[in-house]
Amino acid sequence: MDKLQADKLTEIRKAYNERLEVAIERNPQFRVDAVTVQRDVQYLLQLVETKTQRAETAIKANVLLAQGNADLISKNHLLHAQVETQAKALEFYADEETYEQQWVDDAEQWADPEIECDQGQRAREALTQV
């Protein structure tokens, strides 16, 4: 509860108690009823304070949860990118053509298999993301 709200509740309590005292002085026969009403009003004001504090606590918890969710979403995106990179590396090494020589028409000669040119570079790159 912020200071303005707390001050307002204090103001309400004070004004109510003052009016109640004046009413009792004017009509002493209503003292028992007035005390009962005063107790009920005090209870309601306390209830307002309690509910306000609980609402503030819930808001703070929701803010923390939202921040935690944002962190988890960010980590999820990172993990997804890592999985993609690793899957592409696995596909490269699993592809049988990666191990075969390729005929290069322009050069009219056979080129070394891609695996020899790669020399494990894709695997190392995929592993550095872990």
Question: What's the pLDDT at 83?
Answer: 93
With tokens 């592993």, the residue in question is 127
pLDDT at 59 (0 to 100): 94
Asked if 86 contacts 38 with a C-beta cutoff of 8 angstroms, the reply is no
User: Maximum Cα–Cα distance for the chain, whole Å?
Assistant: 118
pLDDT at 4: 85
Residues 17 and 5: their CA atoms lie apart, in Å, by 18
pLDDT value of position 37:
85
Query: For each of the chain's 130 residues, which pLDDT tens digit applies?
Result: 788 888 888 898 888 888 888 888 888 887 778 888 888 888 998 999 899 899 999 999 999 999 999 999 999 999 999 999 999 999 999 999 999 988 888 878 888 899 998 999 999 988 887 6
The count of domains in the chain is 1
Which domain range does residue 111 map to? 3-128
DSSP state letters, 85-103: HHHHHHHHHH-GGGGS-EE
Long-range pairs of 73-76 with CB within 8 A, sequence gap ≥ 24:
none
Strand-pairing partners, residue 104, are 109
Confidence (pLDDT) at 130: 66
The pTM for the full model equals: 0.52
CA atoms within 13 A on the CB side of 23: 14
